[in-house]
Amino acid sequence: MADTDAPLIEHLIELRGRLLRALAGFFVVLLCLLPFAAKLYGWLAQPLTSLLPAGQSIIATNPAGAFFAPLKLAMFCALFISMPWLLYQTWAFVAPALYAREKRLALPLLASAVALFYAGCAFAFLLVLPAVFHFLTSFGADVIAVTPDAGAYLDFVLALFLAFGLSFELPVAMVILVLLGWVSPAQLKEARGYAVVGIFVIAAIVTPPDVISQLMLAIPMCLLYELGIHASRWLLPRPLARDAAG
């Protein structure tokens, strides 16, 4: 009984060590960002504040909002920056249990998932947010002053980042489904029409109610769907790839 418990205890000790290292890395980044929390919020608010009429700015309807909104943003940025370190700790704990082929596939998929999530957030910040705020501020009534709340604005932007970041993970999800044998590249190709309809439905749900942001999410997702088909063909073992194509 003691012999069977020993490996479990060793795994638990290893898991605790990895969790402590992951949390330590996160808090180190957070402590470095806290002095710049206000500047980070000003940088994040720039796509909206640049479009506001003169004399108007973001306000805090909650007395503590001016403090908690930048703090919340600093925590999100710390998580965003430390994500590779957190995923590395997860990988270091799981990797010894994987076979050689699984390791060769898992590491590129993990790196691709991180890169695509970052790309989705960057796409949302650089292109989507300016277009969305230009649309929303242009069609407001003249008698209504645009004075967004600091906390509501942050929640809106983070939700948009999450929506685009996760949506850009589509090729990785498709490759995983193919590697698990649940679908084949040929089936994904045949379902392209249904996938496009589903992508536009998802874009209409997760984006603000304007056509611009919906198209700016749907079109990249359609391109990423095509990328997922080609990537799944490339990563399949050659005999399986020929069978799937046939």
Q: In terms of Cα–Cα distance, which of 105, 118, 114, 112 is closest to 86?
A: 114
d(CA 244, CA 241): 5
Domain that holds residue 183: 4-244
What is the overall mean pLDDT for the chain? 83
Using a pLDDT cut of 90, give the percent of the chain over it.
Answer: 36
Total of domains in the chain:
1
Task: Answer with the residue of higher pLDDT: 56 or 213.
Answer: 213
pLDDT at 77 over 50: yes
Task: Answer with the residue of higher pLDDT: 5 or 34.
Answer: 34
Confidence class for position 246, pLDDT limits 50, 70, 90 = very low
Q: In terms of Cα–Cα distance, which of 57, 69, 49 is closest to 154?
A: 69
pTM for the model stands at 0.82
For CA atoms 138, 140, 146, 149, the dihedral sign is negative
Using a pLDDT cut of 70, give the percent of the chain over it.
Answer: 88
Single-letter amino acid, residue 208: P
